[in-house]
Amino acid sequence: MATENLSARDRILASAGKLFSAEGYRGTGVDRIIADSGVAKATFYKHFPGKDHLIVEWLAQSEASAAILLPGPDAAEPFFALTDALIALAGTPSCLGCAFQGTAAEFADHAHPAHAASIAAKQRVLAGLTQRAEAQGLPQPRATAEIAFLLIEGVFAAVRMFGPGAPISGAQAALRKLAAPVTSVHL
């Protein structure tokens, strides 16, 4: 992404995202983000009181950016439209895995703001899957959503580990097979 036309705040976020993805949160210092974004230290701290605030804001921006790429709840078969889109997103060559999984791994303390933001984002994903399973008329929507959630989490973990060659080509078919028993068998 060209950053020359972005505001200082957006340049900081773009630089942070690039560096966090490449080097991790703990491996990326504020001074490095400042240098990469081309802003003054005072400008950085005007927008972000500290690195934790920056991380949480970057996670929020990542979630919002991903949401734009996903089909709306009014899609035909809204549950499978969302799950297929998430799996397809994971399979794009530029995907480096799930930012929220990486964040939770680096900040294991559940009280840390970045970990808490990651949990909140994942809770929204699970709630969205449940709502779409209900909208699609699938029996046991919560159980179906949980199965889909776990499979999709595995897809993103595989992409983080293997990169573009991750073995995810059968994920959509597997999801349908795993979800099918839930719709016909009581758990």
- Please give the Cα distance from 68 to 65 (Å, whole number): 5
Q: Indicate the burial class of 30 (C-beta count within 10 angstroms; 0-12, 13-18, 19 or more).
A: middle
| Domain identity same for 19 and 80 | no
Q: How many CA atoms lie less than 13 Å away from 81 in the CB half-sphere?
A: 15
Q: What is the mean pLDDT of the chain?
A: 91
Q: Do 21 and 72 belong together in one domain?
A: no
In this structure, what token pair is assigned to residue 97?
A: 């895995």
Do 13 and 76 lie in one domain? The reply is no
Q: What CATH number corresponds to the domain at position 41? A: 1.10.10.60
Residue 133 carries which side chain, given as an amino acid letter? A
- Asked if residue 26 lies in contact with residue 67, where contact means CB atoms within 8 angstroms, the answer is no
Q: For residue 182, what pLDDT band results from cuts at 50, 70 and 90? A: low
Residues 90, 179 within the same domain:
yes
Same domain, yes or no, for 32 and 68? no
28 and 119: one domain? Answer: no
The confidence score (pLDDT) of residue 13 equals: 96
Q: Is it the case that residue 184 has pLDDT exceeding 90?
A: no
106 and 167 fall within a common domain: yes
pLDDT over 90 (residue 112)? yes
The answer to whether residues 63 and 2 belong to one domain is no
Determine the pLDDT at residue 34: 97
pLDDT in tens, 125-158: 999 999 999 999 988 999 999 999 999 999 999 9
Which of 31, 48, 65 is the endpoint of a domain? Answer: 48
Write the pLDDT tens digit of every residue in 51-84. Answer: 999 999 999 999 999 899 899 888 889 999 999 9
| Same-domain check for residues 64 and 114 | yes
Q: Which domain holds residue 151?
A: 51-184
The residue assigned the tokens 């758990």 is: 187
> Contact, 44 vs 34, CB < 8 A?
yes
CATH number at residue 122: 1.10.357.10
Question: Number of structural domains, the chain?
Answer: 2
Sign of CA dihedral 31, 62, 148, 116: positive
Res 183 pLDDT > 60: no
* One domain for residues 16 and 96: no
Same structural domain for residues 38 and 55? no
Both 76 and 115 in a single domain?
yes
Q: Is the pLDDT of residue 1 over 90?
A: no
Cβ neighbours of residue 171 under 8 Å, at least 6 residues apart? 87, 151, 152, 155
Residue 92 has pLDDT above 70, yes or no: yes
d(CA 103, CA 24): 8
How buried is residue 67: exposed, middle or buried, by Cβ count under 10 Å (0-12/13-18/19+)? exposed
pLDDT class of 186 with cuts at 50, 70, 90: low
Answer yes or no: is pLDDT of 167 > 70.
yes
Side-chain half-sphere exposure of 85, counting CA atoms within 13 A: 18
What's the confidence (pLDDT) of residue 42? 96
Side chain identity, residue 76: A
